[in-house]
Amino acid sequence: MFGLGKPRSKLGKYLDRRGIKQEWLVSKSKVGRTTISNACGNSDYMPGAKSMQKIIKALREVDPSARADQFWDL
């Protein structure tokens, strides 16, 4: 079901492995849909510091050990 030939970033692959939908991340993190989509589909995309912080905070609800350096080169 996942990985329909679309390129995925580390964040996108992480969400796929855990069965987390991008829409869930949009609603929990209060980050825009476009930002989440870019962060999940483009390996070169790096969201701003505030957005990154919100994304990690939302991911920690499911995985308390989630860290920004798992997904982006800081």
Confidence class for position 52, pLDDT limits 50, 70, 90: very high
* Average pLDDT across the chain, whole number: 94
State pLDDT tens for residues 6-47. Answer: 799 999 999 999 999 999 999 999 999 999 999 999 999 999
List of domains in the chain: 10-62 (1.10.260)
Helix (H) or strand (E) holding 29: helix 22-29
- Separation CA 47–CA 26 (nearest Å): 13
Percent of the chain predicted with pLDDT > 90:
89
pTM of the model: 0.90
